[in-house]
Amino acid sequence: MWDTIIGHEAEKIFLRNMLTGQRKTPSLLFYGPEGIGKRKMARAFAQSFLCLENPLIPCTCRSCQAMENDSHPDFIEVEPGGKSRTIGVDAIHELIAKAAFGPVLSPYKVCLIDKAHTLREEAQNSLLKLLEEPPEYWLFLLVADQVEQLLPTIRSRVIGLRFDPLTEGETEQVLASIRLGENDRPESLAEADLSQAEAKWQRELPILAHLAGGSAGKALEWFRMDALELREEILDLLEQSGREDLLVYTAGLPWLLRNDREESLVMMELLLLLLRDGLILQSRLPQPLYNEDLRDRLGLCFADWSEKKIRQAMELTEKCRRGLNSFVVRRMAIEALFMEIHQLDKEI
């Protein structure tokens, strides 16, 4: 059962137990890091919960077929929308209106709220009314990456299931099962044949699996964004950060002119991983590196860096990431960051 979902065995056991005997309809919260399969598990559980025959085995009943075809009248999914990529109160008001109607095909109705951490506060307060007195035939499934963004009153009304990152082996297994589609092409191969993207995917898969820290979703998204090329660009700048003519050097970097916010945030995350690895190398800690494929190069890059300098550089990078998240222009933010890193040697 649920064999196509890799990992999360303890959570599967708990959910299977909910399907035996009379099915209860508590509200559940699936939480943990992004991209590890929480939504996929929630949808699979919803299909089993709505099943008209045996929910513990693969089934082809009318309900399960409707779920497979994304046409089940008793399954409702709410997800972020609009430019803000949040869930507003109108979406919850619409859900409240639907709560007045009973199930059509199955004995129950299931509502899955994906990215529940993006619920605006007013929307959370409206949802709370449903969670406090839910219709007896409704099951609510909340999926959240950042559980701390949910109000304590929401968290107190749900049964929380924590999903941990996949192991590196599990991540590779998930990624190896992916068949790239047209929308999965990396930006560098936007006009190329799909076979070229697939070849690049196979080359980069082991590195991305390791780099993404157990998040298969993040690994795929980073592939689409050419993250290994972004890593090369930010590492090159890190290696050059000691130059006295640093601003002259950055003026000749065309990638600094791109002002894609999401790409900039990924670059800051990659920079933090590089700095984290540098700290491990300088501290001589017996821990694996995120950028294991760059171990020798990072050893040279951070050879003259003190642990204090690396920690300060990480703090500056976090500050820069917050600025980029507030739509600060990339070139200004990154040039300022590396000039501050350049000055650290003079302050230490």
Number of Cβ within 10 Å of residue 136's Cβ equals 8
pLDDT for position 348: 54
Q: Nearest 10 degrees: CA dihedral of 207, 224, 175, 50? A: 150
Please, which pLDDT band fits residue 324 given cuts at 50, 70 and 90?
A: confident
pLDDT reading at 157 higher than 60: yes
pLDDT for position 347: 61
At 8-30, the pLDDT tens digits run 999 999 999 988 877 777 899 99
pLDDT reading at 103 higher than 60: yes
pLDDT for position 285: 87
pLDDT for position 340: 93
At 234-292, the pLDDT tens digits run 999 999 999 999 999 998 889 888 888 889 999 999 999 999 999 999 999 888 999 99
* pLDDT-above-70 percentage for the chain: 98
**Mean pLDDT across 216-227:** 94
pLDDT for position 316: 95
Is residue 116 within 8 Å of 80, Cβ to Cβ? no
Q: Where are the beta strands (DSSP E) in the chain?
A: 28-31, 75-78, 109-113, 138-144, 159-162
Half-sphere exposure in the Cβ direction for 300 (13 Å, CA) = 7
Task: State the burial class of residue 72 (Cβ atoms within 10 Å of its Cβ: 0-12, 13-18, 19+).
Answer: buried
Please, which pLDDT band fits residue 81 given cuts at 50, 70 and 90?
A: confident
pLDDT reading at 1 higher than 70: no
* DSSP state for residue 164 in the 8-state scheme: P
* DSSP state for residue 116 in the 8-state scheme: G
Taking all residues of the chain, what is their mean pLDDT, rounded to a whole number? 91
Is residue 242 within 8 Å of 345, Cβ to Cβ? yes
More confident residue, 56 or 234: 234
Sign of CA dihedral 224, 250, 273, 288: positive
Is residue 91 within 8 Å of 80, Cβ to Cβ? no
